[in-house]
Amino acid sequence: MPVRSTHLSTFIAADPGTVYDYAADVARWPEWAAGIARGIRPEGDAWIASSPYGDVTVRLAPANAFGVLDHRVTLPDGTSVDNPMRVLPLDDGAEVVFTVRMRPGVTEDEFAADCAAVAADLEMLKQRVEAGA
């Protein structure tokens, strides 16, 4: 069965490297990612985040020069969700693109809510970076 995806993006008036460095700092995710707003802590090569679903494990792509911020979130039930995310350079800043994929068993309303939550997170990321966080 084909996977349904929605690509969400925001434009940030900042150097792409600055955007990448801020967004790649997983310890700062609670500042802009509401799903883990309760906190995150390192554990080995991963991070443990407090989420509405309980503690989840987050693994981020290794640091790279291409703006790739893909990350895998493993839910308490063992389900893993891969989240493609990129910082793309623009002439006057950067575009951050996050792909939301509809998981099996998720309703249209739940998928819409996931997309709205990611859009809000991207807006908060924009505000934080542009404010010089």
Coil, helix or strand for 41?
A: strand
Q: Write the pLDDT tens digit of every residue in 9-67.
A: 999 999 999 999 999 999 999 999 987 767 899 999 999 998 877 899 999 999 999 99
Query: In the CATH scheme, what is the code of domain 5-130?
Result: 3.30.530.20
Coil, helix or strand for 97?
A: strand
Residue 46 near residue 61 (C-beta atoms within 8 A): no
Q: What does DSSP assign to residue 13?
A: S
Q: Tell me the sheet residues that pair with 73.
A: 58, 81
Q: What is the pLDDT of residue 133?
A: 67
Q: What is the mean pLDDT of the chain?
A: 93
Which alpha helices (H) appear in 2-132, and where do they start and end?
16-24, 108-130
Predicted TM-score (pTM) of this structure: 0.92
Q: What does DSSP assign to residue 79?
A: -
Q: What is the pLDDT of residue 83?
A: 95
Residue 68 near residue 61 (C-beta atoms within 8 A): yes
